[in-house]
Amino acid sequence: MKILFFTGKGGVGKSTNSALRAVHLASGGHRVLLNSIDPAHNLHDIFKMPLSEKPKEIAPGLQVIETDLNVWVKKYLKDMEQEFKNVYRYMEAFNLHKYFKILKYSPGIEEYAVLLAMENTLQRYQDKDYIIFDTPPTALTLKFLALPKVSLLWLKELASFREQILKKKDIVAKIHRKNAEVCADPVLERIEHLIQRYERISDLLTDEKKTSVHIVLNNDSLSLAESEDIFREVTNLGIKVTTVILNKFNGSGDSPKDLEKHFKGTELLTLPAGEGECTGLETLTSFPLPAPPV
Ligand SMILES: Nc1ncnc2c1ncn2[C@@H]1O[C@H](COP(=O)(O)OP(=O)(O)OP(=O)(O)O)[C@@H](O)[C@H]1O
Ligand SMILES: [Mg+2]
């Protein structure tokens, strides 16, 4: 299974290009899932039909989803509350539920929700040849892509603190009772479980045979500047940017060759500005895929 992320500045054509790629891959006989994880979905406008969390078969081999991130925020908080209850039973008296109610407004929750939604998609649709994600605005995309790596940093630190605490607890227990048994620690077990989970996601995202990022830009200085930021950040995370797509290219402005030097190691593709709306299955099927500049 291959995972593709389409990203770029607002309005440059991320959704159009992810839809275009999905339609062409499916018409080539591949099993494709296209999933919008952008809270402001527009795949339904592109395919001109209502979409939801439930996959809709749009063409043979092509299913499309618009993920409801609110559902994943709620699921994330519910899972966390349950986990707290299981691991920290002795905290029950503090009425944890009250704190979880306000946690949904806390910064950082949205990127956990996007990551959870992505993980769920990858698990649920393992039968697909391609899973294509139409991503949220840049700031959120970069945060959720960085999340596994960042979480691993502090989880490993946390595990080592916990081990030190347990060693000391063990020494004290043995002073009191010579034959005191060392019990499994639920907190350390939970941290180790999370480490394994984030390592799995991180390995998948940084495996360039499986995961690729495709940056869409237009020929203007603002979208170029944002694309350069994305390129740098994503590359620093060890995730492969495979193509940069110069979309709505009409021959004016910087030449594709000039742009290429901003994105070393990637392939620069161009997609001409189409006449009229680039929506509807028929239009997308007849629209060319982005191609290398001649
Ligand atoms: N190559 C193209 N030729 C003509 N029109 C295009 C092309 N690519 C995109 N468009 C049009 O540009 C507009 C923005 O495209 P799209 O919705 O794909 O951008 P987006 O990056 O997903 O935007 P958002 O950030 O709002 O999600 C749409 O009206 C779309 O039909
Ligand atoms: Mg979009």
At 265-286, the pLDDT tens digits run 999 999 999 888 899 999 999 9
What is the CA(171)–ligand 2 centre distance, in A? 58
Alpha helices by DSSP H, listed for the chain, are 14-27, 43-47, 69-87, 96-103, 109-124, 138-176, 186-205, 221-236, 256-260, 281-286
Distance from C-alpha of 18 to C-alpha of 243, rounded to nearest angstrom: 12
Distance from C-alpha of 29 to C-alpha of 49, rounded to nearest angstrom: 23
Dig out the tokens for 81 from the structure: 């509350």
How do residues 84-120 score in pLDDT, each as one tens digit?
A: 777 666 666 566 667 767 776 777 889 999 999 999 9
Predicted local confidence at residue 40, as pLDDT: 93
What is the CA(39)–ligand 2 centre distance, in A? 9
Q: Is the pLDDT of residue 186 over 90?
A: no
List the residue whose alpha carbon is closest to atom 18 of ligand 1.
13
What is the CA(52)–ligand 2 centre distance, in A? 15
List the residue whose alpha carbon is closest to atom 25 of ligand 1.
10
Predicted local confidence at residue 90, as pLDDT: 63
pTM here? 0.93
Predicted local confidence at residue 48, as pLDDT: 96
Find the residues whose C-beta lies inside 6 A of ligand 1. 8, 10-16, 38, 42, 247-248, 271, 273-274, 277-279
Strand partners, 267: 243
Predicted local confidence at residue 83, as pLDDT: 78
Sign of the CA dihedral running 74, 75, 77, 78: positive
CA-nearest of 72, 75, 77, 25 to 53 is 72
Is the domain 2-286 a CATH 3.30.230.10 member?
Answer: no
What is the CA(53)–ligand 1 centre distance, in A? 22
Which residue bears the tokens 């499994």?
A: 184
Ligand 1 mutation pick, 16, 21, 48, 248, max ligand atoms within 8 A of CB? 16
Specify the ligand 1 atom closest to the Cα of 40. 27
Distance from C-alpha of 67 to C-alpha of 271, rounded to nearest angstrom: 27
* pLDDT average, residue stretch 227-251: 97
Specify the ligand 1 atom closest to the Cα of 45. 17
Predicted local confidence at residue 126, as pLDDT: 96
How do residues 127-169 score in pLDDT, each as one tens digit?
A: 999 999 999 999 999 999 999 999 999 999 999 999 999 999 8
What is the CA(273)–ligand 1 centre distance, in A? 10
Query: Read out DSSP for 178-239?
Result: TTPPPPPPHHHHHHHHHHHHHHHHHHHHT-TTTEEEEEEE-SSHHHHHHHHHHHHHHHHTT-
How do residues 19-71 score in pLDDT, each as one tens digit?
A: 999 999 999 999 999 999 999 999 999 999 999 999 999 999 999 999 999 99
Predicted local confidence at residue 175, as pLDDT: 83
Q: Which residues surround ligand 2, an ion (CB under 5 A)?
A: 14-15, 42
* pLDDT average, residue stretch 70-84: 86
List the residue whose alpha carbon is closest to atom 6 of ligand 1.
278
Predicted local confidence at residue 149, as pLDDT: 95
What is the CA(16)–ligand 1 centre distance, in A? 5
Ligand nearest to the CA of 8: 1
